Amino acid sequence: MQAHETELGFLQKDMRLEIPYFQRPYVWGEKNWEDLFENLIDDKQSHFLGSIILKRIHTVSGQIERFSVIDGQQRLTTLTILLKACYDNLDLSALPEEIVSETNTKLRMMLYYKENELSTKKEVKILHSRLDSKDFISVIDGSIKDKLSKVVLDSEEKKDLPATDSGILKCYKYFNNRFHDDSDQAAKIWNLLLSKQQKFLVKIDLEPDENEQAIFDSVNSSGVRLTCADTIKNALFQKAMEFAGSDEDSQAEVVNLYKDYWEKIFISDSAISKYWSTEQRMGRISRDNLELLLHCVALIKGFFDPDKNNMSDLADVYKSYSARLNKSELYDFVKEIAEYGIIYKEYFTVSDSTTCFEYCNNVQRLFHILSVCDVSTLHSYILMLLKKYPANDEGELPKDLLDELKNIETMVIRHILCNASTKNFNKVCALLIAGKTSIQNEMSAKRELLDDNAVIKALCNVPSNKIATLLLFWIELYRRANDSKFDLKDLKYTYSLEHIMPQSWENNWGIDKVKVVTADTEKLIEDEENAREVRRAAIYEIGNMTILNRKLNSSLSNKTMKEKLDGNGRTKGMRRYASLDVAQEVIKLFDDNDRWNEKIIRDRTKKIYNEFIKIWPVEFSTVEIDDQMLLYLDSNDIKATGYYLKDKRLKVNTGSLFAQTELPSCKTNIIQLRQELLDNGVVSNGQFTSEYIFASPSTAASCILGSNLNGRLLWKNESGVTLKNLYSDSEDASTADF
């Protein structure tokens, strides 16, 4: 990559600049043109106009250089149109013949090229997209001048005089109008645009094998990035055009493919375009829905490897994949993207404060939970399932699909509630797509972290207000779906979480004012330090939380229970905002018991827990040892692989590495075993020369690394799950208790 400041005069070089054939159209408007014009005529302003990224296209020896315009299409198009408008409004009659000749030559060099030195035909230097090519040529060759009166700017539009569709033609007319009023401005801007001292562009030149998407991300580090969806689209259809060659019927076939399976699905009207261009935040960079869809498709098809690729590689992996396809495969692939696009748009919707949720809408519930939990790494697997199990003629989704979607939901909600890491979900997703694992296996591998005992602990100390609000909202909808007393079955996600016993409890809920009791027997706790600890813990139990129609006034939140319920004077209390059952039950519990303490909180936590395991149950299977599952050990650059055998020994593979020194913690028997392996030639030059079966995973790990280690924690499967978690002997979830 080479980046440097340059003047517009770089266009005088013999070359062809190609805007991809199916690139989006020119979209700048009068505000952009006005800003550019005013900047150029203002001597007090600096004239930096932005960057242009050009990527060299492979050519054979002797051919003119060709570059693809990767970024800067709008800027480059506008400047060349402005240059032509300047020329058309210069008063050349007042200039010496020599200057006129030089001016004509410069215009030709800036806007045209010849295939070779002896060619008599000049070609427009910028080869525009399918949508803009004709209009751009008409501006550059001057054929539009006689028809310019028919071009209507947006500012000239009237009821019976609609604005012209073409932005190219409107751009030329705008600048032509500005110069018509003051021809001196044409000369001023002409000189400025051709000045060798005015380096108002940054030109970034890429070689054919460089990754333009990575350049986009680095150049746009502030977070305003360029989507790679256009790059991918252009690569696909450029490949299709290469198959078509110069045959007009074949080219028409490619255009129809584009119209039917890209334009129709992704840009057919403003509402559809808006959906696909809507951005979702991913870290410091936003990705639009179309790019996220293309990422999902790449994962489903298996040519995007989450272990090796990141999102900035997406365009490159698409190019590599499409390069391997023949014409029929390429056409089918484009059609497959369209199929996934239809499904994605139907189900992958973003909810807001106006969205109504109902418990029985399984897909909507899953996506809401994923959204609130900020988990998007499983989207590819979900998209694959939705395509694999389509709805029937009545619009009903098959049971197999609904069961698996519920499994995903359960896995996610338990991970988030129990504070189990979701970092390996991208790898899990790839394994699910490939059929190499299942949700049940992944849950069983983390049994100790996700079982009902873990749920109990988490509900007694909810990790965040966000997860508490989410749980109470869906438990409320679960109750409404399963009890006929509720007429209203759907709700909007607009409720506010309230801690009944407040987080700032010392003033009105101090241990001298509201007695602290044990959660199980309601026995008074007399030890002051213990009492404070029990009270602080009770604050964060789910049983001490509810959701209200609106947030309580801050003057009430820390008050006594009676004041919080009834309010004080003009300030309304919880009774006024408790329309939900999860709030009404709190009021009833206080009214019936005339108190709110640790025992009542715990009893309500138990009730919510019982509802939780009904909504999100899990059955952990007793996992049989899979002696075909490849395991990995990786520590301090020592990498080994092996298999856990059914008799609980561990077989290490040929080629695994072997530490050549021992640590002080290494036991005598391990040191002796290491020496035997060396003496027998099983290990040579720090590497296993043959397979070897160790008595246990720990013996294998200790021997390989020359230390005293727990192999059940060090040997892991492809998705990073330890042997200990893969084959846990923990108690059955049904034995969980408070």
What is the three-state SS of 44-81? CCCCCCCEEEEEEECCCCCCCEEEEEEECHHHHHHHHH
pLDDT-wise least confident of 43-52, 387-396, 456-465: 43-52
3-state secondary structure at position 639: strand
Are the C-beta atoms of residues 642 and 700 closer than 8 Å to each other?
yes
Q: What's the predicted TM-score (pTM) here?
A: 0.72
Residue 666, number of CB atoms within 10 A of its CB? 19
The contacts of residue 245 (CB under 8 Å, 6+ apart) are none
Rounded alpha-carbon distances, angstroms, from residue 368 to 147, 157, 358, 584, 615: 54, 44, 11, 25, 15
Residue 328, number of CB atoms within 10 A of its CB? 9
| 112 burial level (CB within 10 Å; 0-12, 13-18, 19+) | middle
**Mean pLDDT confidence for 128-140:** 90
Are the C-beta atoms of residues 213 and 315 closer than 8 Å to each other?
yes
The pLDDT assigned to 734 comes to: 38
Predicted confidence (pLDDT) at residue 215 exceeds the cutoff of 80: no
Give the Cα separation of 221 and 225 in Å (integer).
7
Predicted confidence (pLDDT) at residue 602 exceeds the cutoff of 60: yes
Give the Cα separation of 88 and 90 in Å (integer).
6
First-to-final CA distance of the chain: 62
Greater model confidence, 284 or 457: 457
HSE on the CB side for 276, CA within 13 Å?
A: 25
DSSP state of 163: P
Give the Cα separation of 193 and 81 in Å (integer).
12
**Mean pLDDT confidence for 240-249:** 89
pLDDT-wise least confident of 38-47, 462-471, 586-595, 667-676: 38-47
Query: Which pLDDT band holds residue 245 (cuts at 50, 70, 90)?
Result: confident
**What does the block give as tokens for 187?**
């000369």
Q: Round the CA-based radius of gyration of the chain to a whole number and report it.
A: 34
Are the C-beta atoms of residues 340 and 297 closer than 8 Å to each other?
yes
| Domain spans in the chain, listed from the N-terminal domain onward | 2-210, 229-347, 465-615, 630-716
Q: Which of 551, 599, 607 is closest to 582 using CA atoms?
A: 607
| 235 burial level (CB within 10 Å; 0-12, 13-18, 19+) | buried
> For the residues of 367-389, what is the DSSP string, one character each?
HHHHHHTT--TTHHHHHHHHHHS
> For the residues of 277-321, what is the DSSP string, one character each?
H-EEEETTEEEEHHHHHHHHHHHHHT---TTT--GGGHHHHHHHH
Give the Cα separation of 228 and 53 in Å (integer).
14
**What does the block give as tokens for 240?**
């299709």
Contacts for 295-300: CB closer than 8 Å, 24+ residues apart: 295/380, 296/340, 296/344, 296/379, 296/380, 296/383, 297/336, 297/337, 297/340, 297/380, 297/383, 299/380, 299/429, 299/430, 299/433, 300/340, 300/380, 300/383, 300/384, 300/433
Query: Which pLDDT band holds residue 458 (cuts at 50, 70, 90)?
Result: very high
Predicted confidence (pLDDT) at residue 270 exceeds the cutoff of 60: yes
The contacts of residue 652 (CB under 8 Å, 6+ apart) are 640, 641, 642, 688, 691, 692, 693, 694, 700, 704
**How remote is the C-alpha of 507 from its chain's centroid?**
46
Are the C-beta atoms of residues 489 and 365 closer than 8 Å to each other?
no
**Mean pLDDT confidence for 649-669:** 95
CA angle, corner 265, sides to 264 and 269, nearest 5? 60
Are the C-beta atoms of residues 8 and 189 closer than 8 Å to each other?
no
Q: Which of 290, 75, 319, 297 is closest to 213 using CA atoms?
A: 319
Give the Cα separation of 203 and 80 in Å (integer).
15
| β-strands 638-644, 650-652 pairing | antiparallel
Predicted confidence (pLDDT) at residue 732 exceeds the cutoff of 50: no
Are the C-beta atoms of residues 138 and 117 closer than 8 Å to each other?
no
Q: In what helix (H) or strand (E) does residue 562 lie, and over which residues does it extend?
A: helix 561-566
pLDDT-wise least confident of 110-124, 319-333, 334-348, 539-553: 110-124
- Only one residue has tokens 């004509």, namely 104
Rounded alpha-carbon distances, angstroms, from residue 538 to 386, 505, 533: 42, 11, 9
Query: Which pLDDT band holds residue 731 (cuts at 50, 70, 90)?
Result: very low
pLDDT-wise least confident of 127-131, 520-524, 702-706: 127-131
**Mean pLDDT confidence for 489-511:** 94
258-286 b/e (C-beta count within 10 Å ≥ 16 → b): beebbeebbeeeeebeebbeeeeeeeebe
Greater model confidence, 383 or 203: 383
The pLDDT assigned to 213 comes to: 56
- Maximum alpha-carbon separation in the chain: 108
Give the Cα separation of 234 and 133 in Å (integer).
16
Predicted confidence (pLDDT) at residue 573 exceeds the cutoff of 80: yes
- Only one residue has tokens 């050519």, namely 59
DSSP H helical ranges for 118-182: 133-140, 167-181
Q: Whole-number mean pLDDT of the chain?
A: 90
- Using one digit for the tens of pLDDT, what is the confidence trace for 136-186? 999 999 999 888 999 999 999 988 899 999 999 999 999 999 998 777 899
pLDDT-wise least confident of 180-189, 366-375, 449-458: 180-189
